[in-house]
Amino acid sequence: MDAILQVNQLTGGYSPRRPVLHNISFQVKAGEMVGLIGLNGAGKSTTIKHILGLMKPQIGEIKVDGATLEEETEQYRASFAYVPESPVLFDELTVEEHLRLTGMAYSVNDDQYGARAEELLEQFQMLPKRKAFASHLSKGMKQKVMIMNALLADPPLYIIDEPFLGLDPLGIRSLLDRLVEVKRKGAAILMSSHILSTVEAYCDRFIVMHHGQIAAQGTLDDVRQAAGTEMRGGSLEDAFYKLVTGGHR
């Protein structure tokens, strides 16, 4: 499988004198969903900001679909869609106008746009709100617009930060169903979440961050092994607790 996202020996943060991330390396391959987990302040969002290109690595390199931000800026930016933890929308645009804007930004052709937009509006129970302004939507509906935008773009890489906050159970199910589908078609997905049971159920591999470093990564077995042999058969949450507390709550 091809690595769609490559993070190589990334050291970075908000001040060159005090890096927050220390020598982070991981990959997300085509057709794979990887869960990024860690306590508050572990460095998940900072890692994501570096991947998005909002922050520059102090050391190391990030590639998306083979491109670096410095050398192939447009290709790099067009290769991923990002769903942030808090929705960011234009208040004066409608739901449909947001989708249309995303379609244009990601060069989705008219035929594809029509079919995808209708399907998404239906799947996320947003047909009655298609002409509503963003400012008139509920919190969960705003989150659904962000998710629909990402799915409409149909990029090689999805970066999804704590997507379940604010979504109702139907919305969560629709999102997870769609993620499984895009993954099957070859997309790479990096998803950060504190809902460890869902991460365990849906992700193929896991990255456990702790104090800006990777404490463990790999399959559930790999993470259990890093946590200690007595973790054999335990849940992701059991192994996670062990890794971040050393067994002491």
CA–CA separation, 161 and 80 (whole Å)? 13
**Which positions ≥6 away from 203 have C-beta within 8 Å?**
33, 34, 35, 191
Give the residue from 2, 9, 52, 47 showing the smallest Cα distance to 29.
2
Tokens encoding 227: 């946590």
- From candidates 4, 20, 146, 216, binder to ligand ATP by CB under 6 A: 20
Alpha carbons 205 and 92: distance in angstroms, whole number: 40
Residue 43 within binding range of ligand ATP, rule CB under 6 A: yes
Q: By C-beta, is 49 or 77 nearer to ligand ATP?
A: 49
Q: Which stretch binds ligand ATP (CB under 6 A): 33-41, 129-137, 139-147, 221-229?
A: 33-41
Give the binding range for ligand ATP (CB under 6 A) out of 39-47, 88-96, 182-190, 214-222.
39-47
Among 38, 57, 103, 163, binds ligand ATP (CB under 6 A): 38
- DSSP conformation class of 35: E
List 16, 40, 92, 131, residue binding ligand ATP (CB under 6 A): 40
Sign of CA dihedral 191, 194, 198, 201: positive
Closer CB to ligand ATP, 100 or 211, in the complex: 211
Query: Residue 45, interface with ligand ATP (CB under 6 A)?
Result: yes
One of 14, 139, 168, 230 touching ligand ATP (CB under 6 A)? 14
d(C-alpha 183, C-alpha 137), whole Å: 29
- Residue numbers 122-161 binding ligand ATP by CB under 6 A: none
Q: Applying CB under 6 A, which residues contact ligand ATP?
A: 14, 20, 38, 40-46
